[in-house]
Amino acid sequence: MKKSHDNISPLDSRYASKIEDTRTIFSEANLIKVRFDLEIDWLLFLCKKLPSNFPTLSETSVNKILKFKKNFDDKSVVAVKKIESKTNHDVKAVEYYIRDYFLTDKILAKYIHLIHFGLTSEDLNSLSYAVILKAGINEHLNNLKSLQSVLSKKSKQWSSIPLLARTHGQPASPSTLGKEFKVFYSRINRQINQIKAIKPMAKWSGATGNFHTFNIVDASIDWPKFCGNFIKQCGIEQNLLTTQIEPHDWIAETCHNMSRINNILIDLNQDIWMYITNDLFKLKLLKDEVGSSTMPHKVNPIDFENSEGNLGIANSLLEFFANKLQKSRMQRDLSDSTVLRNVGLGFGYSALAISSLNKGLGKLSPNKEKLLSELDQNWEVLTEAVQTVMRYEGIPDAYEQLKELSRGSSIQKNDYIKFIKNLDITSESKDKLLILTPALYIGLAKSLSKL
């Protein structure tokens, strides 16, 4: 018997419980179920919407079909897979599974010819993947919403905690922890708005996208509109101009968007990792957690490291999907089929990374003593404020004077005060600069963190 620890992917073993909803959405079982549901819905749609072309189903027969649809479960999936082992065709296996059920009823047996009517396999795949990806995107947005909630809370909670900023790794004009976290919140939010604007698309137009099978049946029917209405009831937008496949451009857009979000999260993980390394954050201890197998003192930033690693895996997959899925030789080749089966992995590793990041954020505690100490050791960051006031007062060589005082060297508090007192500026400006400290020189960071 196969065991969970025999799975090749850690998403299905070690990390399975952390991404259960995402795994369910992108599982093969769900793909089979969605295909099954759509086949049933299409048959019902034909009989209901075109009674002059297709035999009407009685209320009793409709209810039997709906009950059959509702009762689709794991045993049904196994039955479909058993059929597929003979047909070597997954879509045809779903069609035969429905056929076998219809054959058990004298009335429904008369409707077997309408199962998968007018369709090519790619119609069903196109709409099925659109439905699944739409659900996956919504779950991804829910995960991001939970992360955004944490980032928003931290940015407000830490809005007044000063932080020595670093540009090029060197001390720079101070900020606050809250403001720096709000930057990431804002960046992610922009990408969320973009991913929400992407419209999942599908085609339902036959072998090469020209509605051949429908038009030959009855050319008087507006088949593009009719099929579009069916797609619309599934919450998906119709792509009217396609080859045999819907060209997957919207999937590529989704992957690119997710990759950009993941890059932002990698940036966040790396920044936090460096803050922890510099002792600006403490990590809350978990009693039973082990930091090192040989060094008992260690409390490692493993959640941020795991998140970074999984984001890298996710991006490798997502960027490949985006690059591959937009390309298909002539009216189609089958190389996209095996790729689409794996698209859930990009979502899975992204979900896992967000879960780890959220966990890590929950362990962070600002080391206020260290933060203030670091600021107090870098009074030279106030030279920006001083030279700006000097310029404002009309001193032409302000930058040069401060450069001579501070470039490449550290300034102590007393050096700073002495320099200010000797400046030829108004007493009002002197007073403003004399009460200034690195911890107070945060500009509008506090208010920006609350936007």
Catalytic residues: 168, 292
Question: Residue 34 to residues 67, 133, 444: CA-CA distances in angstroms?
Answer: 16, 11, 52
CA distance 242 to 331: 9
Q: Work out the burial of residue 71: count CB atoms within 10 Å of its CB; fewer than 13 is exposed, 13-18 middle, 19 or more buried.
A: exposed
CA distance 427 to 259: 54
CA distance 89 to 101: 19
CA distance 335 to 325: 9
Nearest Cα residue to 381 out of 170, 169, 168: 170
- How many Cβ atoms are within 10 Å of 447's Cβ, its own excluded? 11
Question: Residue 336 to residues 54, 118, 252, 313: CA-CA distances in angstroms?
Answer: 34, 22, 12, 20
Q: Which amino acid is at 383?
A: T
From first CA to last CA, the distance across the chain in angstroms is: 56
- The length of the chain is 451
**Angle separating helix axes 74-87 and 90-102, nearest 10 degrees:** 120
Helix (H, G, I), strand (E, B) or coil at 175: strand
Backbone angles phi, psi at 234, to 5 degrees: -90, 0
Helices (DSSP H) in 297-444: which residue ranges? Answer: 302-325, 335-340, 343-361, 368-376, 383-392, 398-406, 413-421, 427-434
Residue 364's H or E segment, with its range, is strand 364-366
CA distance 390 to 388: 5
Indicate the DSSP class of residue 89.
-
Nearest Cα residue to 129 out of 423, 341, 386: 341
Nearest Cα residue to 137 out of 45, 254, 246, 35: 254
Task: Locate 247 and state its tokens.
Answer: 């060209």
CA distance 275 to 289: 21
CA distance 182 to 446: 10
Question: Residue 117 to residues 5, 40, 45, 173: CA-CA distances in angstroms?
Answer: 42, 11, 11, 68
